[in-house]
Amino acid sequence: MNKYALIFISLAHALVSGNSYAVTKQLRQYSASIEQSEWQLTAKTPLLCQLEHTIPNFGNAVFQSKASKALNLNFELKMLRLPDAYSLAEVLSLPPAWRPGEPGKNLASMTLLKQFNGELPKKTAWTLLTELEQGFSPTFYYEDWHSPYDQVAARLNPVQFPPGYYAFNECVAGLLSYSFEDIAFTVLSYESGSDKLTRESQRRLRQIAEYLQHDPQIETIELQGYTDSYGGRWMNEQLSVKRAEKIKQFLAEAGVANDKVRVDGFGERRHVASNQTSLGRATNRRVVLQMARP
């Protein structure tokens, strides 16, 4: 870090804290050297993308995006020494040494809670990535919790950033557009008198099968089959079991272990709508799929 960057950090903190003595405190700096600077894609699946940078003797900076209906991004500053009290860290973006005289930027204030890592929301996290892509160094600056005479500056080094960042962007573009929470409880609907799913439920089942191929944490899957009240009670119970068993077979062909799946058939019992209307009967023709994980 050049002298201009240090001066900017000290002045910025003095302005924020209103403490005229802030600039006299001892500054402890943590950052990767040019040789140490590395940006790694530590997770690359359709469910999770994670870009990570190690700050020696301090911790890790982690950008993470998960499968979801909406684009999301989270930044976490994982510290070896967790905060011992509530405080704020000023997030500054400092120019590289080869751009002398260019001002730094005060990006945000990051809340630090006792015994928790620091986090930043989506908009600020994307800003950090943009600053890094332009060669700037996002720096986290706060008062030391253990010494009234020290301040801490943890800096992200933009050296070797582009390759990891571009790979991260490609990963994010390939994330599934639904999460575990979106499909963990799913009601699949059927055509009248058959074990054939409606078109929309067929699409939903394909999504579930695709998700299950990438999430090894799924512990159990329960399939509960139901029918409307048309037909005999015994026939309906057999049809409800047949519907659930057919879903189990589909999941097995997608790679789901049979011992994870439990099947029950309840026939026309436990209806959730009136069987006196076609719409109500369509609602009752269903298999309820429930997934659980730790």
pLDDT band at residue 146 using 50, 70 and 90 as cut-offs: confident
Q: Per-residue pLDDT tens for 61-114?
A: 999 999 999 999 999 999 999 999 999 999 999 998 887 888 889 999 999 999
Q: Per-residue pLDDT tens for 8-51?
A: 455 454 444 444 444 467 999 999 999 999 999 999 999 999 99
**Domain chopping of the chain, boundaries:** 3-173, 180-292
Task: Give me the pLDDT at residue 16, please.
Answer: 45
pLDDT value at 292 more than 70: yes
pLDDT value at 282 more than 70: yes
Domain 180-292 has CATH 3.30.1330.60: yes
Residue type at 100 in one-letter notation: P
Task: Give me the pLDDT at residue 129, please.
Answer: 98
Task: Give me the pLDDT at residue 11, please.
Answer: 45
pTM value is 0.83
CATH of 3-173, one of 3.40.50.11610, 2.60.40.2540, 2.40.10.10, 2.60.40.10: 2.60.40.2540
